[in-house]
Amino acid sequence: MGKQTGFLEYDREIPQDRDPSKRIRDWEEFHLPMYREELENQGARCMDCGTPYCHTGMILSGVASGCPINNLIPEWNDLVYKGLWRHAYERLMKTNNFPEFTGRVCPAPCEGSCVLGIIEPPVTIKNIECSIIDRAFEEEWVEPQQPKLCTGKKVAVVGSGPAGLACAAQLNKAGHHVVVYERDDQVGGLLMYGIPNMKLDKTVVQRRVKLMEAEGIEFITNTEVGKDIAIESLQNDMDAIVLCCGATIPRDLTIDGRELNGVHFAMDFLTASTKSLLNQTQPELTAEGKHVIVIGGGDTGTDCVGTSLRQNCKDVVQLEIMPKPPFQRDQSNPWPEWPKIFKMDYGQEEAAAIQGDDPREYCVMTNKFVGDGNGNVKEVHTVKGKWITLEDGRKTLKVIPGTEKVYPADLVLLAMGFIGPDETIPKALNLDRDARNNVKADYGKFKTNVDGIFVAGDMRRGQSLVVWAINEGRAAARECDRYLMGETQLP
């Protein structure tokens, strides 16, 4: 695939980003486009490796290696290299309902397992994917695809995040009437309110939703199943239900001072920010003029850093309990595993440009929050630690005496992940749960212990990637279709 000598002739090139010190003044996406000739040269780097690991989606050491939705990456790289962009788009859509989402927010496990990455920087798979779909929309190749038949079956999809949208799209293709219920005021779930606009412009999400509506999918917003509408009502009215409600219960930090004003969950902060942007109003929760402490080093923490800077915070510090990753793969992290190496994401780059340094502090344990005497948070007290391995193999953070530190804080954002789905629907249906409190259903079957009820995405597997949510939504649609029709033709 690609040009046989392309990886020798062309260096890896990725889109340039707008200047960090300037882009924090607005909420626009920060990547700049590349010329088509440059993109075609990048497609040429795909090296006909014989056994392409990039689209395997294997789980190695608990993390995805390769694309979880098995994108036909070498094929559309080759088509881009040859200038056959429309064919590349058609090939891309065989496996991915929403490449405009994954091309923007996926961490690209495909690139981590690229064979070229053993000896050279890997192929720029993610950028090529995003460029294919963006051009497809520009050229108006993307059109509503009405289902070719109508089965007369009705399916409710609860939740409109990436799993719910993927599931709805596939069930609609099978000819079922699909109704998607969303408790918020906008369709998209995590895509709409969990990811800031500069990372995923909301017009991109809304464009896809309008396309799905034109294909016959019905969306009902501001309706929480189990509260605004009884789950029993859906069971009576629908032939099947697919639960795609996500993992929405955030992990808390139960230490002294947790009750103080100014200590919030990250998702509340990010949601308020996006809602204010869409409604052109002042956010109810803002970082403006405040010392901000972000606790958590993942993508959500990074989004909090970038959002705080755009809201003109005084300064921002990001506390990470894990150690600083190495700059190169450790021997315990060989290819084709996901490379656990140090990187500066967009939020850290912006903080470094404004504050002079990476905002992250590693191996930090937060001990307590201290107030100002009026119920507001004033300080975050921390201590450094060192990770050690116990005799039974477990790892623990051993406190280093004398490393105590106090940070000024007017706003503390807890970005430590999620521990499971909301309890309303699982309790109402008496659904079985797994050891991690997720709704129990076997991968590949997606059936709950209640007949006609399926589950997919983070609600089943726990907090994960957008691309895994799409994987599960597509697969659950296939099994739901099989349940309704006795067989399925869905891919």
Summarised one tens digit per residue, pLDDT across range 106-116 is 999 999 999 99
Residue ranges, CATH 3.50.50.60, the chain: 154-248+419-485, 252-416
| Closest-CA residue to 227 (of 15, 424, 385) | 424
Q: How confident is the model at residue 393 (pLDDT cuts 50, 70, 90)?
A: confident
Chain-centre distance for alpha carbon 397: 28
Question: What is the spatial distance between Cα 245 and Cα 157, in angstroms, rounded to a whole number?
Answer: 9
Contact present, 258 and 228 (Cβ < 8 Å): no
| CATH architecture, range 252-416 | 3-Layer(bba) Sandwich (3.50)
What is the average per-residue pLDDT within 160-178? Answer: 98
What is the average per-residue pLDDT within 179-196? Answer: 97
Contact present, 51 and 74 (Cβ < 8 Å): no
Long-range contacts of range 459-465, CB-CB < 8 Å, 24 or more positions apart? 459/159, 459/163, 459/243, 459/244, 459/245, 459/246, 459/247, 459/421, 462/247, 462/418, 462/420, 462/436, 462/438, 463/247, 463/417, 463/418, 465/64, 465/68, 465/106, 465/107, 465/109
What is the average per-residue pLDDT within 423-451? Answer: 97
Check: pTM over 0.75? Answer yes or no: yes
Tens of pLDDT, residue by residue over 265-295, are: 999 999 999 999 999 999 999 999 999 999 9
Helix (H, G, I), strand (E, B) or coil at 12: coil
Q: How confident is the model at residue 2 (pLDDT cuts 50, 70, 90)?
A: low
> Which residues are within 8 A (CB) of 43 and not within 5 positions of it... i.e. 6 or more apart?
2, 6, 77, 78, 79, 80, 81, 128
| Closest-CA residue to 383 (of 358, 400, 408) | 400
Residue ranges, CATH 1.10.1060.10, the chain: 6-138
- At 253 the pLDDT is 97
Given a cut of 80, is residue 208 above it in pLDDT? yes
| CATH architecture, range 154-248+419-485 | 3-Layer(bba) Sandwich (3.50)
What is the average per-residue pLDDT within 198-202? Answer: 98
Mean of per-residue pLDDT scores for the chain:
96
Question: What is the spatial distance between Cα 20 and Cα 353, in angstroms, rounded to a whole number?
Answer: 6
- At 267 the pLDDT is 98
Eight-class DSSP state of 117: G
Given a cut of 80, is residue 1 above it in pLDDT? no
% residues pLDDT > 70 (the chain): 100
Given a cut of 90, is residue 319 above it in pLDDT? yes
What is the average per-residue pLDDT within 448-459? Answer: 98
Given a cut of 90, is residue 4 above it in pLDDT? no
What is the average per-residue pLDDT within 148-164? Answer: 97
Q: Which class is 6-138 in CATH?
A: mainly alpha
